[in-house]
Amino acid sequence: MTSDSERWRTIKAIFGEVAALPSAERPARLAALTMGDPALHAEVAALLAADGAVGRRFEQLPPGLLANLPRPTTRGSDSSTD
């Protein structure tokens, strides 16, 4: 296991713990879990922010990626389903 993947495991554990908290409690918990490692704090904080911003992106393939191929000028219908 590389040091990168070890660090990723740490990030994963902290992200999971902090993301499960109500948002008001997150900053203090994140600070406590990353004390003495500002880079780790910044990394997890950025991922938590991305988690809040990602919306439904990546939940499905871009609509019409394959379906549009034969007729590139029309858009595929966005029939999003869960």
Partner 1 sequence: MEPTQSDVTRLLGLLSQGDPDALDRLMPLVYDELHRLAASYLRRERSDHTLGATALVHEAFLRLVDQRQVDWEGRSHFFGIAAQAMRRVLVDHARRRSAAKRSRNMQVTLDTGADVATDGGADEVLAVDEALERLAHLDPRQARLVELRYFAGFSIAEAAEALGISPATAKRDWALARAWLHRELGPG
Structure token pair of residue 35: 């004390």
4 contributes a contact to partner 1 by CB under 8 A = yes
Amino acid at 31: A
Site string for partner 1, 34-63 (x = CB under 8 A): ------------xxx-xx-xx--xxxxxxx
The number of residues that bind partner 1 (CB under 8 A) is 38
Rounded to the nearest whole angstrom, what is the least distance from the CB of residue 33 to partner 1 in the complex? Answer: 15
Structure token pair of residue 82: 């869960």
65 contributes a contact to partner 1 by CB under 8 A = yes
Report the C-alpha gap between 24 and 10 in whole angstroms. Answer: 22
27 contributes a contact to partner 1 by CB under 8 A = no
Sequence-ordered alpha helix ranges (H) in the chain = 3-19, 26-33, 38-53
Phi, psi of 40 (to 5 degrees): -65, -45
Contact positions toward partner 1, by CB under 8 A? 2, 4-5, 8-9, 11-12, 15-16, 19, 46-48, 50-51, 53-54, 57-72, 74, 76-79
